């Protein structure tokens, strides 16, 4: 009985000890250019969807019209472009140096045009922990959060005046 108990205790402790030895061995990737750990992306995505999905089905309370898209473009230029890219421009040095790299969200990339707008709203409001993606709930109003989410949902078919704002480099 004692032997079985000792076996169980060792069996439980072993993975923790092995994990700790791996961490202190210096082989754990910590620089942004290091490769992801096995299952890192898979587990992070699973955890995110488990929290986000029940809340992410919300439809936008705002219509998709030019004033809302224009307002979203101004928010995007001020808060997001440095990481998620400017229209028709290559990714910034900041974006290229991050891990995980921020996806480029404006054409020619497809960004999040396929995602439900409520999912994008959730991500912009709450952020994504340990990725560099900030949560904006304290700093953008609910209207601004929806406006920038609508902009990204429709990024592949924006009116010309909205594109003009997104082309500005300052």
Query: Interface with ligand HEC by CB under 6 A: which residues?
Result: 75, 79-80, 82-84, 98, 100, 102-103, 112, 120, 123-124, 128, 131-134, 136, 148, 152
In whole angstroms, how close is the CB of 28 to ligand HEC at the nearest point? Answer: 19
DSSP string computed for the chain: -HHHHHHHHHHHHHHHHHHHHHHHTT-S--STTSPPPTTHHHHHHHHHHHHHTTTTTPPPSS---HHHHHHHHHHHHHHTHHHH--TT-PPPHHHHTSSSPPPP-STTS-TTTTS-HHHHHHHHHH-BTTTTB---TTTS-HHHHHHHHHHHHTTTS--HHHHHHHH---
Nearer to ligand HEC, 4 or 130 (CB): 130
In whole angstroms, how close is the CB of 113 to ligand HEC at the nearest point? Answer: 10
Nearer to ligand HEC, 26 or 38 (CB): 38
Half-sphere exposure of 71 (CA within 13 A, CB side): 16
Evaluate whether 167 touches 87 at the Cβ level (below 8 Å): yes
Nearer to ligand HEC, 22 or 99 (CB): 99
In whole angstroms, how close is the CB of 23 to ligand HEC at the nearest point? Answer: 22
- The Cα 131–Cα 118 span in angstroms is 20
Nearer to ligand HEC, 25 or 35 (CB): 35
In whole angstroms, how close is the CB of 112 to ligand HEC at the nearest point? Answer: 5
In whole angstroms, how close is the CB of 22 to ligand HEC at the nearest point? Answer: 23
Nearer to ligand HEC, 3 or 78 (CB): 78
């Amino acid at each position: 009985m004692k032997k079985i108990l000792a076996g169980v205790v060792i069996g439980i402790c072993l993975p923790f000890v092995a994990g700790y030895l791996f961490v202190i061995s210096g082989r754990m990737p910590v620089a942004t250019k290091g490769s992801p750990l096995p299952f890192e992306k898979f587990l992070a995505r699973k955890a995110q969807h488990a929290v986000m999905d029940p809340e992410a089905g919300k439809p936008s309370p705002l219509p998709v019209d030019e004033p809302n898209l224009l307002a979203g473009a101004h928010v995007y230029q001020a808060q997001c472009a440095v990481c998620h890219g400017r229209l028709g421009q290559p990714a910034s040095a900041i974006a290229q140096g991050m891990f995980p790299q921020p996806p480029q969200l404006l054409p020619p990339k497809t960004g999040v045009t396929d995602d439900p707008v409520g999912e994008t709203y959730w991500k912009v409001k709450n952020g994504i922990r340990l990725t560099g993606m900030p949560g904006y709930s304290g700093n953008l109003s609910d209207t601004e959060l929806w406006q920038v989410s609508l902009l990204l949902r429709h990024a592949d078919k924006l009116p010309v005046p909205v594109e003009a704002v997104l082309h500005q480099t300052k």
